[in-house]
Chain A
Amino acid sequence: MHLVDNVLLNIVLMTLIKFAGFVLAFVMGVATVLTWAERKYSALLQNRIGPNRANIGSIRAGGLLHMLADPIKMLTKEDFAPNTPNPVLFRIAPLLAFVPALVVFAVIPFGPGEGFQISNTSLGILFIFAISSLNVYGSVIGAWASNNKWSLIGGLRISAQMISYEVAIGLSLCGIFMIYGSLDLQDIAARQGELIWGFLPAWGVVLQPVAFILYLTCAIAENKRAPFDVGEAEAELTAGWWTEYSAMGFAVFALSEFIEIILIGCVGTTLFLGGWTIPGLHGDAWWIVVLEIGAFLFKTLFLVWLQMTIRWTLPRFRYDQIMRLGWRIMLPIALLNLVVTGIVLTFIERA
């Protein structure tokens, strides 16, 4: 009995430590920095200066203090609620978007071995799909409960868009599972540390380049950011599905969007950019492990940067174009990619 208690306590304690280390420190930290970085980055590539007015005395730190000023502002603003028949749904909608975005990090392998993964389950990627598809409820329920026509139209658009792209994103990743023969993210990451023909890293992006582009496109569409942000579409729908949200409700929605950017980066890194592996570097020495964790974070940040740049480069698609892209282009290409991968794998096995 005593032993069981100790084991349980150990598990809980380790989970909490891992949670604090990876989710609170890395994910939330980067998400907070992104609230500033996105505005500053977009400003600089549009020939503007960006936020630089928040200050303590004469210290401005290039606008970094906006990370501090924003929460203070959000917490002290009026938390407006529209005259709605669903006030409870209106209040819990931000949480419905926020919680799934955070929970998914439980299965991301931040480094080699179980110690750097909060929960090592053999169904890793299925867990990610299952939980992150719950994300649509937050936005759609929020839009519905807002009792506002802009919100409703925005909510309709994103529900259709997110569900459509879920199909294509799932199929685009099937090729990866076929090649590595596993759904376990830790396994997939480790297998990508091998070399093909002695020099080419066996990364997903090398073996499945088409799937990588499909994944990135669909993931951005899932996260409903430009060029797929028709649900928000400030030119037509005021602010779309989050028109009525202000103060912390808005902040939580915005933060969960940033967390999803990091999530897309993490999943993309694990499946396509070799996870925590560094080509040609193997071993259990502590400095190698540190380097590998660093490699994972670096690759994730690279994908975050790529998403942000795409978001500020491309104009918004029209709504019908998005649906056509999803069903008539993305889905067939994903299926075709699957068929070709299957044929090639069969030939390799026979040979």
Chain B
Amino acid sequence: MAKVVNRMHPDFATQSYVIEVFKGVALTTRQFARNLFARKDVVTVQYPDDRRPYTPRFRGKHRLMLRDDKSVRCVACMLCATACPANCITIVAQEIDDPTIEKAPSRFEIDLLKCIYCGFCEEACPCDAIRLDSGVHSIPSFTRRDQKAGVINLMSLGSASIASQGGEHRAHSHEGTAHGQSSGH
């Protein structure tokens, strides 16, 4: 359907631009005076001093969730590493003593420089083991090496999950609460 565009046909006084310029100058001057005496309109956030809160759905640095005995929930199933479009997750599996848990990661490393924070790993995870809800944003470092977050690092942000999971003494744990927002699993 054709859209009718209403073209403006300003009169000569407007088109001559002279009066309009001074109107504009008056407007900006008024705004200047308002901001000079009371900074109600100023929208600047003085970043390092003040920070705007993130939205609850903000995807920040990853964290690995914990079982009730503080061991890692991850069972090294590789679903997250497979789902990852950036190939930033490196998992090396190992067997552990608990006969009801098949595997656990001996190495779980995320290259934060490669990660695109899409959250696919979080969605792929069957165990609610990895989440991006830590709210931690932009961690600068002096070397690339420091941008590879290992399992200890990722677990340090972790907390208990309310999702149930297999394991000998560890099933039916419902009292733990999430650190941040519930991921909806």
Contact = CB atoms under 8 A, between A and B. Distances in A.
A47 interface: yes
B43 A313 contact: no
Contacts of B39: 49
B54 interface: no
A348 interface: no
Interface string B27-60: 1110110011001011110100000000000000
A46 B46 CA distance: 16
A49 B27 contact: no
A45 B24 CA distance: 12
Nearest to A312: B28
Interface string B98-116: 0000000000000000000
Given A309-B28, A312-B28, A313-B24, A49 B18 contact: no
A329 to B, nearest CB: 9
Contacts of B36: 44
Given A313-B21, A314-B24, A45 B31 contact: yes
Given A49-B42, A49-B46, A44 B35 contact: yes
B24 to A, nearest CB: 4
A257 to B, nearest CB: 20
B22 to A, nearest CB: 9
25 contacts: A44-B31, A44-B32, A44-B35, A45-B28, A45-B32, A45-B35, A46-B31, A47-B43, A47-B44, A48-B42, A48-B43, A48-B44, A49-B39, A49-B42, A49-B44, A309-B25, A309-B28, A309-B29, A310-B21, A312-B28, A313-B21, A313-B25, A313-B28, A314-B21, A314-B24
A68 interface: no
Interface in A46-78: 46-49
A42 B61 CA distance: 37
Contacts of A306: 25
Interface of B: 18, 21, 24-25, 27-29, 31-32, 35-36, 39, 41-44, 46
A44 B25 CA distance: 14
A137 interface: no
A213 interface: yes
Nearest to B18: A213
Interface of A: 41, 44-49, 213, 306, 309-310, 312-314
A46 B25 CA distance: 13
Nearest to A210: B18
A173 B5 CA distance: 43
> Can you list the 3 inter-chain pairs with the closest CB atoms, starting with the nearest?
A45-B32, A313-B24, A44-B35
Nearest to B45: A49
Contacts of B27: 313
Nearest to A53: B46
Nearest to A52: B46
A44 B32 CA distance: 5
Contacts of B32: 41, 44-45
